[in-house]
Amino acid sequence: MAQKKERRSGEDRRKKRPATSDKGKSVGRRESDILDAVAPITPEFSTPKANQTRRNRIYEVMEIGGKEDLASKIFDIVLIALITLNVLAVILESVKSIHEGWEIYFQAFDTFSVLVFTVELGLRIWTIIENPDPSYQHPVWGRLKYLCTPMAIIDIIAILPFYLGFIVSLDLRFMRVLRLLRVFKLTRYSSAMSIMLTVLKQEARAFGAALFVLLLLMIFAASMIFLCEHEAQPEVFSNIPNAMWWAVITLTTVGFGDAYPITPMGKFFGAAISVIGIGMVALPAGILASAFSEQLHIRREKYRDSVADALADGILTHEEAEQLKKIQEDLGISVEEARNILHHSVQGGLHFYAYCPHCGKSLQKDRKKHG
């Protein structure tokens, strides 16, 4: 009776879902159905939603950036290509022979790029109130808040040199450096850069401590080498600030050779500082590598928890599949990694997907035969 009641409750729960909506329907109980619904190897492009406002659609294309949205994918590719070409143009423009022969084309391309970036920024400001976050939905304060975000500031800096040229006279080299900052616009489209920024933010204290120790060691090294070498080389180690140059290149194990100790005591101290410098350079690198690996693990665990929550009731709906796709893209999880997590979730903890809860028939039989 208990099994019959449990089976009946499951049937009643499924019947309560509206039949006209595909979102509430199950994607299927076979593992292959779940994998293809959540992390398809060759995703099909989706169509815009019905009764969707133009502003909401533009926001969806620009901000959400779904891989299954053809318009969004084209938009991202075009902007990434334009940003890359801008950086390449700034680099080539610094070559005098190339700049003199192609100056008109460089200027025309820069004007076109600024026009595109300006329209992009304007559209982002206009559509930001479509953000699900309530703090952005006010027509005035929401847009002002967006203008204070790091990505909006990067977008402003990307077009600022062009408009500053009409107001004040700027050095051409300074203009090129500012235009080169457009490369930071790529952080919006790179999950690796997003992870890196998160790591730097989370490990700010650890990096600060490492830099503080490095600063103390640099001051100590400069002071000691000044005491050891000042009398022998008064021109090279004339004071402690000048000796700091030697301390920096020695601690970072660069050693340009323009300043080096010649006294026995100075050589001994220089060798000791060089050995210590190897460890000091490795310390921030170790912190960064460890934090980066931990952040990747955290993102995998978040996705694994989301998969477990979606499959907890034994039914994966189309709506839950779409949510898992969105979470996968936001966390920067690859399709192969997502399919691997889904496979282990289905095979490991969710045994009821292997057999039908009603008749007990194997749901994996067909897949095993084909495999």
Q: Which two tokens stand for residue 222?
A: 């400069």
- Average confidence (pLDDT) over 66-72: 70
pLDDT at 9: 39
Q: Are residues 286 and 176 in the same domain?
A: no
pLDDT at 350 over 60: no
Instruction: Inform me whether the pLDDT recorded for 78 exceeds 60.
Output: yes
pLDDT value for 12: 42
- Tell me whether residue 196 is in a domain: no
Distance CA 122, CA 62 (A): 12
Cα 52–Cα 53–Cα 59 angle in degrees, nearest 5: 95
Closest residue by Cα to residue 120 from 69, 62, 67: 62
User: At what angle are helices 335-344 and 318-331 packed, to 10 degrees?
Assistant: 130
Q: Please tell me the predicted confidence (pLDDT) of residue 19.
A: 43
Residue 72 pLDDT more than 60? yes
Number of helices (H), then strands (E), belonging to the chain: the values are 15, 0
> Do 161 and 93 fall within a single domain?
yes
CA distance 226 to 259: 12
Q: Which residue has the tokens 């952040």?
A: 295
Confidence of residue 161 (pLDDT cuts 50, 70, 90): confident
| Higher per-residue pLDDT: 191 or 24 | 191
For residue 13, what pLDDT is reported? 40
pLDDT for res 359: 60
CA separation, residue 36 to residues 30, 286, 298 (Å): 10, 39, 24
How far apart (Å, rounded) are the C-alpha atoms in residues 26 and 180?
49
215 shares its domain with 170? no
The pLDDT of residue 112 is 92
Q: Please compute the mean of the pLDDT values over residues 84-97 and round it to a whole number.
A: 86
Mean pLDDT of 274-291: 83
Looking at the structure of the chain, the number of domains it has is: 3
pLDDT level of residue 137 (50, 70, 90 thresholds): confident
Evaluate whether 241 touches 216 at the Cβ level (below 8 Å). Answer: no
Answer whether 135's CB lies under 8 Å from 142's CB.
Answer: yes
Check whether residue 184 and residue 240 sit in a common domain: no
Q: Which amino acid, one-letter code, is at 85?
A: L
Same domain, 73 and 39: no
| 6 compared with 329, residue with greater pLDDT | 329
In a domain, 134, yes or no: yes
Tally Cβ neighbours within 10 Å of residue 269.
Answer: 19
Distance, in Å, from the CA atom of 87 to the CA atom of 95, rounded to the nearest integer, reads: 14
Answer for the pair 363, 26: CB distance below 8 angstroms, yes or no.
Answer: no
Which residue is it, tokens 């820069």? 110
Q: How far apart (Å, rounded) are the C-alpha atoms in residues 260 and 254?
A: 12
> Residue 166 sits in a domain of what CATH number?
1.20.120.350
- For 185, other C-beta atoms within 10 Å of its C-beta total 21
Q: What is the mean pLDDT of residues 191-212?
A: 81
Domain match, 96 and 20 both: no
Written as one letter, the residue type at 352 is F
25 phi and psi angles, rounded to 5 deg: -85, 150
Same domain, 156 and 246: no
Phi, psi (rounded to 5 degrees) for 68:
-90, 0
Contact (CB, 8 A) for 156 and 121 = yes
Q: Which residues pair with 46 in a beta bridge?
A: 69
pLDDT digits (tens, 9 = 90+) for 289-301: 888 888 888 888 8
Claim to verify: residue 232 and residue 317 sit in the same structural domain? no
CA distance 356 to 336: 27
Q: 309-331, pLDDT tens digit by residue?
A: 877 767 777 777 778 877 777 77
Boundary (domain end) residue, out of 164, 188, 212: 188
Residue 362: per-residue pLDDT:
56
Domain that holds residue 18: 2-50+312-370
Identify the weakest region by mean pLDDT among 61-65, 112-116, 164-168.
Answer: 61-65
- The pLDDT mean for the chain works out to 76
Residue 95 shares a structural domain with residue 128: yes
Q: Which single residue is written with the structure tokens 């070498």?
A: 229
**How far apart are the C-alpha atoms of 92 and 137, rounded to whole Å?**
43
pLDDT at 36: 64
In the chain, the amino acid numbered 13 is: R
pLDDT, residue 119, reads 92
Comparing 285 with 354, the larger pLDDT belongs to 285
**Contact, 124 vs 155, CB < 8 A?**
yes
How much is the pLDDT for 41? 57
Residue 138 clears pLDDT 80, i.e. is over it: yes
Same domain, 172 and 73: yes
Q: Please write the tens of the pLDDT for every residue from 219-276.
A: 999 999 888 888 888 888 888 888 888 888 888 777 777 788 888 898 898 888 888 8
Residue 56 lies in a domain: no
Average pLDDT of span 334-361: 64
* CA separation for the pair 329, 201 (Å, rounded): 21
Half-sphere exposure of 97 (CA within 13 A, CB side): 0
| CB burial string 172-182: b at 16+ within 10 A, e below | eeebeebbeeb
Q: Do 172 and 78 sit in the same domain of this protein?
A: yes
Task: Provide, rounded to the nearest whole percent, the portion of the chain with pLDDT above 70.
Answer: 74
pLDDT value at 74 more than 60: yes
